A and B are shown apart, each in its own frame.
Chain A
């Protein structure tokens, strides 16, 4: 599903070159739930933004769902991102002017789906996260946990092949975090491929395997911390 080989990312200024990722290789198979951990500044988020085609890489190779993404133009990258990737952010990043329904609609609008198809997908996604009754609410009217569920519904609505989650419980209290984590686990059980960046060892332990990044490199591929039942590849959500 996601394969990076000897990938590097260098930020250059006039006086200094900073390697955010160096000789970075990772392979996430379809249906896997991978936790990416590491100290602050280690390159976790850079990895996630490159994986999500939000940022170019400097060297190496990146294959997404079997296709080399190097050299794609902005339109091609945007289309690929829209069709194959779902993002879940730490700060939820819902658009405050739009109600729940319209927030979930955003990625579908850019895919130019017909109205009926969009409505069907939005309703399914909201039902999946248990927020059908809140579709007319605005983000400010929801709790943090509910907002993150809306963000997950938004990520799911497009039927992505890969879910990228950046500290999805970082802004939530323990109870809400538990609920969101359970939802991610359910999605994984249903076949979703999930890559989750986290600081939290407890959350990382709930993933199928953990990848640790230090100074822009994968330092070890940890033994699966927890075998999740039915982890075999399944169709994406």
Chain B
């Protein structure tokens, strides 16, 4: 019966080609606008590591106290002493202090000009915590951390740039004034938003170079990310590492989300201990935010994007109201046909299903056209948005399925009233009128 109903739908829609086209256009324009904005919104707010986002936590400790202005919200940055204390306590499954130094890289080819590379100083756990994929080699070891070894892991782009032949592993690279041995090369690693580094642009590409934080500290490299001080502090590594300035991130991976209360208790105990020794003068104020909580807390999606999404869905609603009106008019004009079908034995439910079959055809057609408009809309977005946002926006299978599904669902909802009304036509009246 489904095939029969779809066949009837195609014939009926062909008969009223103009009205059908208007309905399909109304649906597709609404769907195209909504999906264009929704795709961008989803890309910006996507969970970057869904497999373990509920057990990876950003640790926050208030080391300034309530008297410091603008300290109501706990920062994702910690002071170096606090972060290192947590690192030494080693209470999580994996953990890492990290920050973002910047290097000048000197290629080994003749006459090559040095260039700037983004970097991440971290502990060896970082790679396992964030499921970083390797193309060659692997992370440095905990022994490298302890020995402050001059080793690095290169990002895929940097490895390709410095060693186009693909033989980076085991070679050395000049970073700043030092030579570092390459122990690992990453595969393409798309980790966006880069939730572990809220101080820089969340959607920029992952770093070019990774090195042990102990090595970076040994070389007294400062962070080029944010550093925030409640009082004036000298901007050199020795001063910063002893100060109450906040400039390093600390992330911890727990074996399960259920371990969160225990770790939070540890943080409270740590804060209480700092109060006992006279460093903190306020009750413990700590937080442990998992990946998605961190993203929400940082309001990573621009407000304009949320407003645009609401406006687009409002527009879709208007389009669907129009489609409902057109469907109602079209079905009403066929009252005699449906009355004849009732006279020949169709039940109300069968008429209802036949009307929904027509809506399904309109929905799928509108979805396909809407998909085309979404592709155009995304191309337009890529053209006008800044580079780190525009790189995120792409058409994938998820978008295709969502577009078609949304179109179908929207049209079926829009068709419910016209179909219900048509199924309840009084056949006797329509046939008498004939």
CB-defined interface of B307-342 with A at 8 Å, one 1/0 digit per residue? 000000000000000000000000000001100111
Residues of A within 8 A of B230 (CB): none
Cβ–Cβ < 8 Å partners of B4 in chain A: 109
A58 interface hit (Cβ, 8 Å): no
With A81-B343, A107-B345: A90-B434 Cβ-Cβ less than 8 Å: yes
Across-interface contacts of A83 in B (CB, < 8 A): 345
> Interface SS of chain B: helix, strand, loop or mixed?
helix
A98 x B11 contact (CB < 8 A): yes
Q: Are B11 and A93 in contact (CB under 8 A)?
A: no
B431 nearest CB neighbor, chain A only: A89
Asked if A120 is an interface residue, CB under 8 A from chain B, the answer is no
Contact stretch, chosen from B200-208, B269-277, B346-354: B346-354
Let me know if B15 is at the binding interface, CB within 8 A.
Answer: yes
Given contacts A54-B431, A90-B434, contact A112 B1 (CB under 8 A): yes
Q: Is B397 an interface residue (CB 8 A)?
A: no
A111 to B345, CA, bound (A): 8
Residues 5-18 of chain B: 1 if any A CB is under 8 Å from the residue's CB, otherwise 0?
00010011011000
- A75 within 8 Å of B by Cβ? yes
The verdict on A78 contacting B342 (CB below 8 Å), with A55-B426, A97-B11, A98-B11 known, is yes
Q: Does B229 contact A (CB under 8 A)?
A: no
Q: Is the CB of B344 within 8 A of A87?
A: yes
- B337-A95 in contact (CB<8A): yes
A136 cross-chain contacts in B, Cβ below 8 A: none
The yes or no answer to A71 lying at the interface (CB within 8 A) is: no
**Interface presence of A49 (CB below 8 A):** yes
**Given the complex, which residues of B lie within 8 Å of A90, measured CB to CB?**
434
Residue among B4, B344, B427 having the largest count of chain A Cβ atoms under 10 Å: B344
Inter-chain contact B12/A97, CB cutoff 8 Å:
yes
Question: In whole angstroms, what is the CA distance A154 to B347 when docked?
Answer: 18
A106 interface residue, CB < 8 Å from B?
yes
- A82 and chain B: residue at smallest CB distance: B345
0/1 interface trace, chain B 54-67, chain A, CB 8 Å (1 if under): 00000000000000
Task: Tell me whether A63 is interfacial, beta carbon within 8 Å.
Answer: no
The docked-state distance in angstroms from the alpha carbon of A83 to that of B11 is 27
Question: How many residues on chain B are close to A (CB under 8 Å)?
Answer: 26
Residues on B with C-beta less than 8 A from A106 are 340-341, 344
Query: Once bound together, how far apart are the Cα atoms of A112 and B347, in whole Å?
Result: 13
Q: Does B128 contact A (CB under 8 A)?
A: no
Residues of chain B contacted by A229 (CB below 8 angstroms)? none
In the bound complex, CA of A49 to CA of B432 (Å): 9
Residues of chain B lying within 8 A (CB to CB) of residue A46: 428, 432
Enumerate A88-134 residues with CB–CB distance to B below 8 Å: 89-91, 93, 95-98, 106-107, 109-112
Q: Is the CB of A81 within 8 A of B15?
A: no
A159 within 8 A of partner (CB): no
User: In the assembly, what is the distance between CA of A82 and CA of B427, in Å?
Assistant: 14
How distant is the Cα of A91 from the Cα of B430 in the complex, in angstroms?
12
- Whether a CB of chain B sits under 8 angstroms from the CB of A135 is no
The answer on a CB contact under 8 Å between B434 and A96 is: no
How long is the Cα–Cα vector from A98 to B340 in the complex, in angstroms? Answer: 13
A54 touches B434 (CB 8 A): no
**B427 / chain A contacts, CB cutoff of 8 Å:** 49, 54
Contacting A at CB under 8 A, from B354-386, are none
* Known A55-B426, A93-B431, A95-B337; contact A109-B1, beta-carbon cutoff 8 A: yes
Shortest 7 CB-CB distances between A and B: which pairs? Answer: A82-B345, A49-B428, A78-B347, A97-B11, A110-B345, A55-B428, A107-B344
A-B contact pairs, 25 of them (CB 8 A): A46-B432, A49-B432, A54-B342, A54-B431, A74-B348, A74-B349, A75-B349, A78-B342, A78-B345, A78-B347, A78-B350, A81-B343, A82-B344, A87-B343, A93-B336, A93-B431, A95-B340, A95-B341, A97-B11, A97-B14, A107-B344, A110-B345, A110-B346, A110-B347, A112-B1
Contacts beyond the supplied A54-B431, A81-B343: 6 A-B pairs with Cβ under 8 Å: A79-B345, A81-B345, A87-B343, A96-B15, A107-B344, A158-B345
Interface residues of A (CB under 8 A from B): 45-46, 49, 52, 54-55, 74-75, 78-79, 81-83, 87, 89-91, 93, 95-98, 106-107, 109-112, 154, 158, 166
Point out residues on B near A: beta carbons under 8 Å: 1, 4, 8, 11-12, 14-15, 336-337, 340-350, 426-428, 431-432, 434
